[in-house]
Structure 1
Amino acid sequence: MSRELPPQQAFQTHCLAQMGVVSWLSSSDSVTGTVFMPIQPWPIAVEAAVGFVPPPSSAGFKAVEPVSVPVEKRATDEKDPLVHHLREQLNAGPEIIVEDLQPIEELAVDIVVEPDPALNTHITRLNIYAYALSNKLLILSDVPEVFSQAEEIERLALKMGQALLKQPINEWQGSAFSWPGALKNPHFWKRTDWLFGALESYVGRLVKDFPETPLLVLAGAQITQLVEDLAPESPLKHYPTARIVSLSELYRIPELRKEAWQVMQSSLFR
């Protein structure tokens, strides 16, 4: 049975064998290993040898002067480069990447983002009131940008919903939607895809609790046109929909209510 020794321990075994010590291991197993023989096991301190000057011999012999180590001479091109020549030497080697330490100049450019032609509409501003009634009926109506008759058209929407659903309206919510709203950059006003996405998200929040497909009333020319311009796969395009004049017009001109009632009856309950 043999055992492999690491190089350092094999070197110790070799040294002991040179001195005649061959039974220093207590085990009877034979050991093998690669002897680690360094090139210069005892390094010589060259600096100390150079600085040492032996004293004169009392016997009259002249001390041998130590041989001085010659100073390495390098060509002018191999000397440490100066700072102003560093860039030329770095640029001479194509394998060296030199980082430009000059400040970066930022140039103002016009970013032109063309809107998707499939999502195109001429409407850039929209103000509507929305009424979700009894988790069945959703009314979206145009209103002027500055409107002071919100309570009147709210009562009108509740009466309209009660007549259409033929039941009291015990649960409802009303809210407003405005575009561009808080957007201050005119560049984004022309992003019709943003407008369509904002409107669909707004309606989605209103009808998320509806157990069935909502009945949709579009009251006003702007909201009607905007829904018409939506992509065919938009959920709003698949709701049973009635298109009438805005609630503010119905409130100011009661004569329009009869025609609006007929349109809602024929469109929602066919």
Structure 2
Amino acid sequence: MYRELSPQQAFQTHCLAQMGVVSWLSIEKSESASDGVTGTVFMPVQPWPIDVAVTRDFSSSPSSTGFKAVEPASAPVDKRSADEKEPLVHHLREQLNAGPEIIVEDLQPIEELAVDIVVEPDPTLNTQITRLNIQAYALSNKLLILSDVPEVFSQAEEIERLALKMGQALLKQPIDEWQSSAFSWPGQLRNPYFLNRTDWLFGALESYVGRLVKDFPEPPLLVLAGAKITQLVEDLPAESSLKQYPTARIVSLSELHRIPELRKEAWQVMQSSFFR
């Protein structure tokens, strides 16, 4: 036998369950305990907030068991003095100024220490060359040609053929092995401090030439073609390896290609420099 409890009985049953009574049902006078009466407690979705009207009914008409709804307790009154209560935000500055023992890390000033940066003086390098664009040709592991080229270089194939003909005439043998590459300064370097460091330019040029001649069995015959590369090599320190090679100085290959009349003079210079 199933019977729905009234809201008052449902609340009482819930309270008994909280005290450890797992089952409690009131038995009407017409029923006996042997009838095995069972019941289902229907609780609301939110059982704790009790309607005011229901609470009033609980207090005015107590049930037969003597249970009565518990009246909600009033909020505790803070009896602390105003000084003991947590301070408001606008009192924070007064507290910070009151005593040095109060430390708030987020409000601490940042101390900047003056650091002396030692800048090494530039080495004494007498050169006016700050920009350089050259094309290099390493021929038969014997001859190295470094030639000035314009920044916008569009005659690579013509200059390459001219370099091969020149190398074949100088070495008096076919050029079976050769390579060409370009060198540009400052290239992708954009730091203005390093743009004026000519020692960096010297080091970059020497490293570049060193990679080109690393497989040469003997020191190369060096042809400097162009005013810029010629002046830059002359400005190198006396102990630089580029100054130890047999060297011929002529006009750039782009000028020899554009003005064929200059080739005779360049040929004479190379002959006198390499084959005295």
Please indicate the TM-score interval, normalised by the length of the shorter structure.
Answer: 0.5 to 0.7
How many correspondences in the alignment? 175
User: Residue 245 of structure 2 corresponds to which residue in structure 1?
Assistant: 239
2:150 corresponds to: 144
Which aligned segments of 4 or more residues in structure 1 are displaced greater than 6 angstroms? Answer: 106-111
Q: Which residue of 2 aligns with 1:17?
A: none
Residue number in structure 2 paired with 1:84: 100
User: Secondary structure, in 3 states, of the residue corresponding to 1:84?
Assistant: coil
- Amino acid of the structure 2 residue aligned with 1:142: D
With over 3 angstroms needed to count, the CA separation of the structure-2 counterparts of 1:86 and 1:184, relative to structure 1, is same
1:257 aligns with 2:263: yes
Q: 1:110 to 1:137 in 2, by over 3 A?
A: same
Amino acid at match of 2:100: H
Other structure's SS at 2:100 match: helix
The percentage of aligned residue pairs carrying the same residue is 78
**Which residue in 2 is equivalent to 1:155?**
161
Q: In 2, distance between residues paired with 1:111 and 1:249?
A: 46
Name the residue aligned to 1:164.
Answer: 170
Matched letter for residue 187 of structure 1: Y
Listed as ranges, the matches of 1:191-230 within 5 Å are 191-230=197-236
* Alpha carbons of structure 1 residues 125 and 108: separation in structure 2 relative to 1, 3 Å: farther
Tell me the residue number matched to 1:116. 123
* Structure 1 residue aligned with 2:141: 135
Task: Provide the C-alpha distance between the structure 2 equivalents of 1:109 and 1:144, rounded to a whole number of angstroms.
Answer: 43
Q: Distance in 1 between matches of 2:118 and 2:258?
A: 46
Q: 1:179 & 1:263 partners in 2: Cα distance?
A: 28
SS at match of 1:248: helix
RMSD over aligned CA atoms reads 2.4
Cα deviation for residue 112 of structure 1 reads 5.8
Cα gap change, 1:181 to 1:106, in 2 (>3 Å): farther
Q: Give the TM-score, by structure 2 length.
A: 0.59
Work out the CA distance in 2 between the residues paired with 1:113 and 1:129: 33
Cα distance in 2 for partners of 1:111, 1:157 equals 47
TM-score normalised per structure 1: 0.61
Q: Which runs of 5+ in 2 are unaligned?
A: 1-97
The aligned residue for residue 6 of structure 1 is none
CA distance in 1, matches of 2:122, 2:159: 35
Distance in 1 (CA, whole Å) between partners of 2:113 and 2:188 is 29
Distance 1:85 1:195, change over 3 A: same
Deviations 1:169-228 (A, max 9, x none): 000000000000110112211101000000000000000000001000000000000000
Based on CA coordinates, which of the two structures has the bigger radius of gyration?
Answer: 2
> 2:110 corresponds to which letter in structure 1?
P
Question: By how many angstroms is 1:102 displaced?
Answer: 3.8
